[in-house]
Amino acid sequence: MKITSYISVAYLAIFLPAALLLYTIIPKKARPFVLLIASYVFFWFISEFLIAYLIFTTLCVYLLALWLDKLKAKRKTLLEGAESKEEKKRIKTKNTRAQRWIIVFGIVINVAILAVLKYSPFFVSSLNTALRFAGVNEALAPPKFMAPIGISFYTLQAVSYIHDVYKEKIGADKNLGRVALFMSFFPIIMEGPICRYSDTAHALWSGERLHYTNACFGAQRIAFGALKKMVIADRLNVFVTTAFKDYEAFDYDGGLVLLGAILYTVELYMEFSGTIDVVIGSGEMFGVKIPENFRQPFFSKSISEFWQRWHITLGTWFRDYIFYPVTMSKGMKKLTKKCRKKLGRDYGPLPASIIAFFCVWACNGLWHGAGWQFIMFGMYHFVLISLGALILPLSNKCLAKCHIDRNKFPYKAFTILRTALLVCIGEMMFNSRGAKDSINLMRVLFTKFTFKSWFDGSVLTLGLDPHDIIILCIAIAIVLAVGIMKERGISPREWVAQRPIFVRWPIYMALVLFTVVFGAYGAGYIPIDPIYANF
């Protein structure tokens, strides 16, 4: 059996029900093992022999965390027995140094595996380009490696686990099975969210029995995710692929490129958040609360807020393991203190923050893929977020002078639209074939901009007929309505659950029928690979 996506018959109709059935019929004590075996079987289906990398990373962080714990215990015992201050200091220095070596080794080895498997062809081809520019005719052959699906996700989980043990946020787990399940739980292994040990590990290993409410809510979440992916994302894919492939050959204007960028952003959101709905719904069925990865990102009023609502677990990972460690390092703290004295309250923390933003966005760009377009995508966000922080005090003063209220609807609507447009331009770079293509798209967008193609029928030549457009509008309106409810603090699922049965069931049936009738699948349908599984 080959599983290429969570929104597939193989997963939803065979794998998940089989895992749920096995989980239900066996005793509580054995349930975690069912989840672990199911997770490894799932990983075998998606990556076959490359499962060895996952096993290595799991064993590596498991053993190193135990070693760290042992060193911490030894330090405590030695400090209790120490008689002088000097001796205590010597013990602390020696022990801290040993712990540092372990954490550095643990991070370097796992990041190195990721770097070699995923980035070495990119590094070698970039080196060859640099050599060519320098006049050297020798070129190195780019290496070819097979990387397991989900390596970018589970590597970050591994690093967070060992780092949290080092920082004594959590204790090292002696149970190898629990660490292995935390690393490999099948709903999250392919596309995240990036979980922390303290979020999911113990819930996964508890072997809670299935509950009717969890199963219902989980199934509803899965159905909603399927609607997003099958009705919206897969339908938009035809348009987006054609628009981005043929824009030069058919001399598209900037308007069509912009429409391609907007629809690609919608596709990416529906595809990724739809898959995450299936992931969270699957976890919910087993009684495990998987962290949310999206919080209505298109209601954001700034790029910085957008990244607190889009791929949340990646953003918080970078915040906790890169942004704060950089800004809170001794040197950066000194810089902040100095700058606060010289530049004042508003601009004082900016120099340290901008350095940290650069580190975060360089890593964020590279994490998304090995290519210059991804680095450009990261740098684009670095510039926007840094500029946003730089001009915020000034814009606050201007708004106050012009008596414009940030919280009033017109200004809010303006900032939401501005942010959405900037996000779409970023995603356009993201979907390009390389840095050159990315620059070309920008050139067409800004030098040949006209809305002519939106109204002269060109849009209908790219794979979407009027019938598709109506279905897309209805489906997007449903997703938007759910988003608005959530923004207002209403849980759509609980709202529907509280309606009388003759209202509730027609809503469920209508959504399922809508997905079944208008979803892209069946004979002649070529499944579209999940975009984020490749990262």
Partner 1 sequence: MDRLIEILEDIQPDADYETCTTLIDDHILGSLQIISLVAEIEDEFDISIPTVEIKPENFNSAQALWEMIQRLEDE
Residues near partner 1 (CB under 8 A) are: 167-169, 319-320, 323-325, 327-328, 333, 336-337, 340, 345, 348-350, 352-353, 389
Q: C-beta of 109: minimal distance to partner 1 in Å?
A: 22
Residue (220 or 327) nearer to partner 1, CB:
327
**CA distances in angstroms from 496 to 21, 217, 280, 509, listed in the order given:** 27, 11, 19, 12
Minimum distance from residue 25 beta carbon to partner 1 (Å): 40
Select 340 or 448, whichever has its Cβ closest to partner 1.
340
* Shortest distance, position 17 Cβ to partner 1, whole Å: 38
Please identify, using beta-carbon distances, which residue of 301 and 493 lies nearer to partner 1.
301
CB of 154 to partner 1, least distance (A): 23
Q: Of 10 and 392, which has the nearer Cβ to partner 1?
A: 392
Shortest distance in whole angstroms from residue 316 CB to partner 1: 11
Work out how close the CB of 496 gets to partner 1 at its nearest, in angstroms, rounded to a whole number: 27
Q: How many CB atoms lie within 10 A of CB 502?
A: 7
Tokens of 526: 């070529």
Q: Which is nearer to partner 1, 80 or 138 (CB)?
A: 80
Q: Give min distance, CB of 345 to partner 1, in A.
A: 6
> Is 247:260 a contact under the CB 8 Å cutoff?
yes
The structure tokens listed for 203 are 């819930």
What lies within 8 Å, CB to CB, of 88 at 6+ separation is: 79, 82
Closest CA to 530 of 178, 316, 189, 268: 268
Give the C-alpha separation, 268 to 314, whole Å: 16
Q: Read out DSSP for 208-268?
A: PPP-HHHHHHHHHHHHHHHIIIIIIIHHHHHHHHHHHHHTTTTT--HHHHHHHHHHHHHHH
- Judge whether 45 and 184 are in contact, CB under 8 Å: no
Shortest approach of partner 1 to residue 273 CB, angstroms?
Answer: 22
Which C-beta is closer to partner 1: that of 252 or that of 307?
307
Tell me the three-class secondary structure of 453-480, residue by residue: HHHCCHHHHCCCCHHHHHHHHHHHHHHH
Nearest Cα to 260, choosing from 6, 24, 434, 442?
Answer: 442
Distance CA 324, CA 152 (A): 21
Q: Residue 525 phi/psi, 5° resolution?
A: -90, 125
Q: Which is nearer to partner 1, 167 or 211 (CB)?
A: 167
Least separation in angstroms between CB 305 and partner 1: 8
Structure tokens at 3: 């599983």
Q: Give the residue with the Cβ less far from partner 1, 85 or 345.
A: 345
Q: How far is CA 352 from the centre of its chain?
A: 25
Which is nearer to partner 1, 28 or 333 (by Cβ)? 333
CB of 68 to partner 1, least distance (A): 14
DSSP string, 377-436: HHHHHHHHHHHHHHHHHHHHHHHHHTT--TTSHHHHHHHHHHHHHHHHHHHHHHTSSSHH
Q: Pick the closer one to partner 1 by CB: 227 or 385.
A: 385
